[in-house]
Amino acid sequence: MSETQPHPGLAGALRERLGEAAVVTDPTRLAPYMAEQRGLYTGQGRLVVRPADTDGVAAAVRLCRDYGAAVVAQSGNTGTVGGGAPRHAGEVVISLERLRRIRHLDAEDGHLVAEAGCTLAALQEAAARAGRYLPLSLASEAECRIGGNLATNAGGLNVLRYGNARAQTLGLEVVLADGRIWRSLQGLRKDNSGYDIRDLFIGSGGELGIITAATLRLHPIPSNRRVALLAMPELGPILPLVRAAQAESGDAVVAAELMSAEALAMGQHLEDTPANPLPGSPWYLLVELATPDPRADLDAALAAALEPLQEAGQIDDARLAPTEAAAARLWRLRTAIPDGQKRVGASIKHDISVLPGDIAAFVPRALAAVQGLDPRVRPCVFGHVGDGNLHFNLTQPADADGAAFLAQRASYHRIVHDEVRRFAGSVAAEHGVGQLKRDEVRSYADPLGIELMQHLKQALDPDGLLNPGKGAAATGPRTADLNPGDDASC
């Protein structure tokens, strides 16, 4: 396998098989495929192939194998951990952007079959036109594509009620490392005829196969919706409040987003961010309840969950959105945080998870450990408290040099991730592993788990042609230092 450049005959063979429009070698046209979204990695590839269908993807994989070229699959190229960036000039990017068909949509059965290049927003809109709901929701949904969402087992804002991308998937079509196509798109809800092969590919980062199509679950539209912002003096009551709201509403809590006062303040640096309507508290919880049942009294359910905590002085204040426009303004407080944090300086980010019940103990321990290294560091803590996933981000001190702060990345990673390990958590919650977290995950993971993943990689990709050097199962030396720039955003 050449790492310096693709075999000189490969581009011609790909053009002959797939057509001139499918092959990109011009450096100017290559650039968008090489630019990792957050600027953390710059891909080194010199050849991109853009098949128009699954058979074309399979043909491209076979040709790359015949010429000894490794391949890196890309869908929307919106990842944040370097999973879609080719590490060497000899690696070929297979872009799935032309696979944009919705092959089938069955509103009555509640599923659709879509190709990997469909944007998430396009699938949401198609479901809505059919009177159904696709709950997978991400900040990048206008640009990200479903193939990448499944390759990373994307999480997002609705995980608490609907689960990760894996929970929304009923079937897959996958091109294997030898160019064969495995199809299981029938969408059965029950099939215990063997191992669950589908779930091996979801979350594998394109290291075991290339997802080219998927059957996705559709749900009734949750048109009855309430959004509230709660100001909290401490973390302890937050999970009991979420669980009470779930119980009172019949499990209608769709999202429960924790935000520190510092995180909200950073979001205020964007021009379109509304003012915090409940200033003065250290912690905030954004809660959304939603159901397709128009008879459900979500206001009463939320009030019943809040009342005992309000009487105990465990809620400083609450604001219920009276309209959809007001709900959007409350949500903007949350979605503005990542871009707002970028405005105030360099940041070191951690996409971690612990048990939801451990958040109240984990956060103060981790904050104390970080500020023990430098009390001037500005923590920016927010995330999906209902499922235990936090973005435990650190912004440079106001009077510090950004590059000098980023140079301490390894020290801060070790401090935060050691605390995560004390709580038996994960250092890679929802963004995947890619290049960014390969060594971190391997440092903390169960060695037997790594060994089992390496056996699977060997079985499905014995020549190591699919996205080499990425993920926890990758072998070889430690990854190179990160490119200059901000860390992966959340």
Total number of domains in the chain:
3
Stretch 54-81: mean pLDDT, rounded? 93
Question: Which stretch of DSSP H or E encloses residue 71?
Answer: strand 71-74
Residue 117: name the closest of 60, 72, 74 by CA. Answer: 74
More confident residue, 471 or 343: 343
| Angstrom distance (rounded) from CA 456 to CA 209 | 11
Q: Does 370 lie in the same domain as 304?
A: no
| Angstrom distance (rounded) from CA 94 to CA 73 | 5
Determine what percent of the chain falls in helix, strand and coil, rounding each to the nearest 5: 35, 20, 45
Is 182 part of any domain?
yes
- Integer CA distances (angstroms), 324 to 161, 224, 270, 355, 409, in order: 20, 11, 21, 32, 41
Ranges 140-149, 187-196, 274-283, 401-410, most confident: 274-283
Q: Does 269 lie in the same domain as 364?
A: no
Cβ(467)–Cβ(71) under 8 Å?
yes
Q: Does 245 lie in the same domain as 165?
A: no
Residue 77: name the closest of 85, 88, 69 by CA. Answer: 85
What pLDDT was estimated at residue 483?
A: 42
What pLDDT was estimated at residue 216?
A: 98
- pLDDT band at 4, cuts 50/70/90? low
Instruction: Using the 3D structure, point to which of 431, 452, 478 is the last residue of a domain.
Output: 431
| Angstrom distance (rounded) from CA 297 to CA 336 | 30
- Summarised one tens digit per residue, pLDDT across range 104-123 is 999 999 999 999 999 999 99
Q: Is the pLDDT of residue 375 over 70?
A: yes
CATH of residue 390's domain is 3.30.70.2740
Burial status of residue 444 (CB atoms within 10 A of its CB: 0-12, 13-18, 19 or more): middle
Is 229 part of any domain?
yes
- pLDDT band at 92, cuts 50/70/90? very high
Q: Does 250 lie in the same domain as 161?
A: no
Q: Does 374 lie in the same domain as 356?
A: yes
Is 93 part of any domain?
no
Q: Does 235 lie in the same domain as 201?
A: no
Is 86 part of any domain?
no
What pLDDT was estimated at residue 1?
A: 56
Which residues span the domain enclosing 239? 224-336
Stretch 333-350: mean pLDDT, rounded? 93
Q: Does 425 lie in the same domain as 351?
A: yes
Instruction: Using the 3D structure, point to which of 217, 232, 265 is the last residue of a domain.
Output: 217
Stretch 42-70: mean pLDDT, rounded? 95
Instruction: Using the 3D structure, point to which of 306, 336, 366 is the last residue of a domain.
Output: 336
| Strand pairing category for 71-74 and 92-95 | parallel
Q: Is the pLDDT of residue 82 over 80?
A: no
Q: Does 283 lie in the same domain as 241?
A: yes
Question: Quick one: what percent of the chain has pLDDT higher than 90?
Answer: 77
- pLDDT band at 55, cuts 50/70/90? very high
CATH of residue 167's domain is 3.30.465.10
Q: Which residues pair with 394 in a beta bridge?
A: 348, 379
What order do you get walking across the sheet with 23-24 strand by strand? 23-24, 47-49, 92-95, 71-74
Q: What is the DSSP string of 304-329?
A: HHHHHHHHTT--SEEEE--SHHHHHH
Mean pLDDT across the chain, nearest whole number?
A: 91
For 35, other C-beta atoms within 10 Å of its C-beta total 14
More confident residue, 80 or 166: 166
| Angstrom distance (rounded) from CA 232 to CA 314 | 6
Three-class secondary structure of residue 260 per DSSP = strand
Stretch 184-198: mean pLDDT, rounded? 91
CATH of residue 313's domain is 3.30.70.2190
Question: In the chain, how long is the greatest CA-to-CA distance?
Answer: 74
| Angstrom distance (rounded) from CA 199 to CA 169 | 9
Question: Quick one: what percent of the chain has pLDDT higher than 70?
Answer: 95
Stretch 447-451: mean pLDDT, rounded? 91
Stretch 248-269: mean pLDDT, rounded? 96
Alpha-helical runs (H) found in 336-472: 337-343, 359-373, 402-406, 409-422, 438-444, 447-460
Residue for token digits 């200059």? Answer: 484
Q: Does 254 lie in the same domain as 199?
A: no
Q: Does 247 lie in the same domain as 330?
A: yes
Q: Does 204 lie in the same domain as 119?
A: yes
